[in-house]
Structure 1
Amino acid sequence: MGRMKTALKTILLFALGCGGVSSASDPRQPNILFIFADDIGQEVLECYGGQSYRTPHLNELARTGMKFNQAFSMPVCHPSRITLMSGKYPFRHGPVSWGDYPKQAEPYTFSNLLKTAGYRTAIAGKWQLCLLGEDPFHPRRMGFDHWDLFGWHEGPRYYEPMIHQNGQVRADTLGFYGPDLYVRSVIDFMKDNRDRPFLAYYSMAVAHEVTDDLTPPVPHGPFDRYDNYDEMVAETDRNVGRLIAALNALKLRDKTLVIFLADNGTPPEIIIRADGQELSRVPVVSRRNGLDVPGGKKQLTDAGTNVPMIANWPGTIRPGQVVDDLVDFSDFLPTFMDLAGQPIPDGLKLDGVSFADRLRGTGTSPRTFTYCEEAVLPKPGGVEPDGESSGLKWVRNQDWKLYNNGRLIHMAEDPLEQYPFTSGEDNARRTEMRSLLENVFRDLDSAGTSPTAP
Structure 2
Amino acid sequence: MKRLLLLGCSLLATIANAADQRPNVVLIIAHDLGRDWVSCYESDHQTPNLDRLANEGVRYETAWSMLDARLSHDALLLGRYPSRLKERQPSLIDLLVKAGYTRINYEIDGELKLTGKSPYLLLCALPVGIGNYAGQVKKLDERAGKLARATADENTFLLFTSTGGSPVPGKLNGDEQPVGKRAKADCGAHVPFIIRAPFLFKGGRVSRDLTDFTDLFPTLLELANIEKPNHLKLDGHTLLPSLRGSDDPFEKRNWVVSESSGFRMARDWHHILDTNGRFHDLDKDPLQQHQVSVQDKQAPHRRQRLQMILDRFETNAEVRSETPTP
Q: Which of 52, 55, 62 is the matching residue for 1:60? A: 52
Q: Which of 370, 373, 378 is the matching residue for 2:256? A: 370
Contact kept, 8 Å, 1:43 with 1:288, in 2: the verdict is yes
Give the 3 Å change call, closer, same or farther, for CA 26–406 of structure 1 in structure 2. farther
Q: Which of 196, 202, 214 is the matching residue for 2:118? A: 196
With normalisation by structure 2, the TM-score equals 0.84
1:110 and 2:32 aligned: no
Give the 3 Å change call, closer, same or farther, for CA 406–292 of structure 1 in structure 2. closer
Q: Which of 26, 34, 41 is the matching residue for 2:34? A: 41
Partner of 1:317: 201
Partner of 2:239: 355
User: Which aligned pairs between 1:163-182 and structure 2 lie closer than 5 A?
Assistant: 180-181=108-109
1:401 and 2:268 aligned: no
1:263 and 2:171 aligned: no
Q: Which amino acid aligns with 1:114?
A: L
Give the 3 Å change call, closer, same or farther, for CA 193–412 of structure 1 in structure 2. farther
Structure of larger gyration radius: 1
The separation in 1 between residues aligned to 2:236 and 2:199, in whole angstroms, is: 26
Deviation at 1:303, TM superposition (A): 1.8
The separation in 2 between residues aligned to 1:51 and 1:62, in whole angstroms, is: 16
Contact kept, 8 Å, 1:123 with 1:203, in 2: the verdict is no
The separation in 2 between residues aligned to 1:327 and 1:344, in whole angstroms, is: 20
Deviation track 1:357-395 (CA, whole Å, cap 9, x = no partner) reads: 222445675222111112x2xxxxxxxxxxxxxx22111
Q: Which amino acid aligns with 2:162?
A: A
The separation in 1 between residues aligned to 2:59 and 2:95, in whole angstroms, is: 27
Deviation track 1:9-63 (CA, whole Å, cap 9, x = no partner) reads: xxxxxxxxxxxxxxx96544111111001110001111111113x3111110011
Higher helix share: 1
Higher strand share: 2
Partner of 2:289: 418
Q: Which amino acid aligns with 2:312?
A: D
CA RMSD of aligned residues (A): 2.4
Q: Secondary structure at the match of 2:136?
A: helix
The separation in 1 between residues aligned to 2:207 and 2:116, in whole angstroms, is: 31
The separation in 2 between residues aligned to 1:58 and 1:195, in whole angstroms, is: 30
Deviation track 1:186-239 (CA, whole Å, cap 9, x = no partner) reads: xx45xx2574211101022x2144xxxxxxxxxxxxxxxxx5212211221111
Deviation at 1:286, TM superposition (A): 2.1
Runs of at least 5 residues in structure 2 that lack an aligned partner in the other structure: 1-16, 316-326
User: Which aligned pairs between 1:290-309 and structure 2 lie closer than 5 A?
Assistant: 290-309=174-193
Larger relative contact order (Cα-Cα within 8 Å, sequence gap ≥ 6): 2
Q: Which of 438, 443, 453 is the matching residue for 2:312? A: 443
Q: Secondary structure at the match of 1:57?
A: helix
Deviation at 1:336, TM superposition (A): 0.9
Q: Secondary structure at the match of 1:285?
A: coil
Partner of 2:323: none
User: Which aligned pairs between 1:100-179 and structure 2 lie closer than 5 A?
Assistant: 104-105=87-88, 107-124=89-106, 148=107
Q: Which amino acid aligns with 1:85?
A: L
Deviation at 1:264, TM superposition (A): 0.2
Partner of 1:380: none
Percent of aligned pairs sharing the same letter:
29
The separation in 1 between residues aligned to 2:273 and 2:115, in whole angstroms, is: 46
Contact kept, 8 Å, 1:316 with 1:361, in 2: the verdict is no
With normalisation by structure 1, the TM-score equals 0.61
